[in-house]
Structure 1
């Protein structure tokens, strides 16, 4: 079954070539779909030089946000399994095997990589607090037992997305996608992953304001049919 790797990209000049190399090394039939979300730091120019037939690149005319980039990538995906990959080296593509195993073995249709189940984790205190709070609210509102709702590593059979219309443009794509998957009756299987979190000085983009929007997104989709 072909794997569609969706990679939103925004101002990742320092990491983009290395993350593409690591993703390309994954031993699966795959397509790599990069969506440049209006980068202004030279990332776009690097992407324009890529000639790899496995890599398809799409460009936004301006910076809309991670959610819009993910939505663009999903619309272009042709594989039977979808995997979302950030472009910043915080998440390690060498862990694809453990993410894909539950799906390939028929144990799950949706798999999240949990940074809180893994041993190799570098995360700042307030980021951990925010993540844990949003995950707690997800569990409370949707009667589930996740440990990491905000993880980048979300993997699912493409058929899971049938009937799901995503609308978020920003980081609230994470709670929107999670809420809509859970409301369709799917259970989310978690596997441990490593994580090497960045500082804002290194390019980390999510802020506390995104956390407030994420909370409202969870509540809104719980109340809306």
Structure 2
């Protein structure tokens, strides 16, 4: 069994090195690989000095780095990472340190044990208002999850969570096309339409503000709702 941890990045020079250290510092229940897909960052996220330093570390053996020639969006980077993955389980990990990699082992165990095919880490199980989450984001998350449950008959508490864990063959069998933040509602809709139950487990969360680099905007909520509606209409 092998875990593929996909980290999409865009202008994350302040956090990328730390998140790699955090991800590598976890005691995983299986072998793992880290796949970094940089979305044509204009800062020093994937700088030459960093790559040279990484190559000199023995930990480099389980890290692969890809860079988009032009900015294509988070969804495109995730899809690229999924395509390049060699593991049996896919884990999506943000680079901004809002999500703690120490939660990954408990999230992958239900799949390793054959209990389910998909696991979501929920910020709302055990926390009515996740730490650092702005009020408008709280309302948007709650509303988006409610719409998902109404349209697809799911019982989710956190549709928009970054921590989405998949059995690799399940997610690779899907015709995923989203290029930006609509990856989340698209993949959730397609999992639900396949009749696959999504298991949720509580995770820790430490939100950041737009001033700290958070990129999701109000328009992304609208795009997410439209994606859910469109996926419900089409076959």
Instruction: Specify the SS of the correspondent of 2:121.
Output: strand
Question: Over aligned residue pairs, what C-alpha RMSD do you find?
Answer: 1.2
> Aligned partners of 1:115, 1:220: CA distance in 2, in Å?
26
Q: Map 1:109-148; keep pairs closer than 5 Å.
A: 109-119=117-127, 121-148=131-158
Could you tell me the TM-score, scaled by structure 1's length?
0.97
Q: Which stretches in structure 1 are left out of the alignment for 5+ residues?
A: none
**Alignment deviations for residues 125-144 of structure 1 (CA, whole Å, 9 cap, x no partner):** 10010011110000000001
Q: For residues 191-221 of structure 1, give each alpha carbon's deviation from its aligned partner in whole angstroms, at most 9, with x where no partner exists.
A: 0001111100000000010000000000000
Per the alignment, residue 31 of structure 1 pairs with 33
Tell me, yes or no, if structure 1 residue 209 matches structure 2 residue 219. Answer: yes
Instruction: Give the direction of change, closer, same or farther, for the CA distance of 1:223–1:88 in structure 2 (3 Å limit).
Output: same
State the distance in 2 between where 1:5 and 1:181 align: 19
Specify which of 196, 206, 211 is matched with residue 196 of structure 1: 206
> Partner of 1:48: helix, strand, or coil?
helix
Which of 52, 56, 62 aligns to 1:54? It is 62
Partner of 1:149: 159
TM-score by length of 2: 0.93
d(CA) in 2 for partners of 1:37, 1:47: 17
- Structure 2: 5+ residue stretches without partners: none
Deviations along 1:76-117, one digit per CA (max 9) or x if unpaired, are 001000000000000000111221122122221100000011
Task: Please state whether the residue corresponding to 1:43 is helix, strand or coil.
Answer: coil
Partner of 1:8: 8
- CA–CA separation in structure 1 for the residues paired with 2:46 and 2:87: 25
Q: SS of the counterpart of 2:17?
A: helix
Q: How far has the Cα of 1:25 moved from its partner?
A: 1.6
By how many angstroms is 1:47 displaced? 4.7
Q: Please give the alpha-carbon distance, in whole angstroms, between the structure 2 residues aligned to 1:12 and 1:114.
A: 24
Partner in structure 1 of residue 185 of structure 2: 175
Q: Which residue of 2 aligns with 1:71?
A: 79
Alignment pair present for 1:98 and 2:103 = no
Q: Secondary structure at the match of 1:220?
A: helix
1:162 Cα deviation (Å)?
A: 4.2
User: For 2:178 and 2:50, how far apart are their aligned partners in 1?
Assistant: 25
Alpha-carbon contact 1:7-1:87 (below 8 Å) kept: yes
Change (3 A) 1:163 1:100: closer
* 2:83–2:172 contact (8 Å) kept in structure 1: no
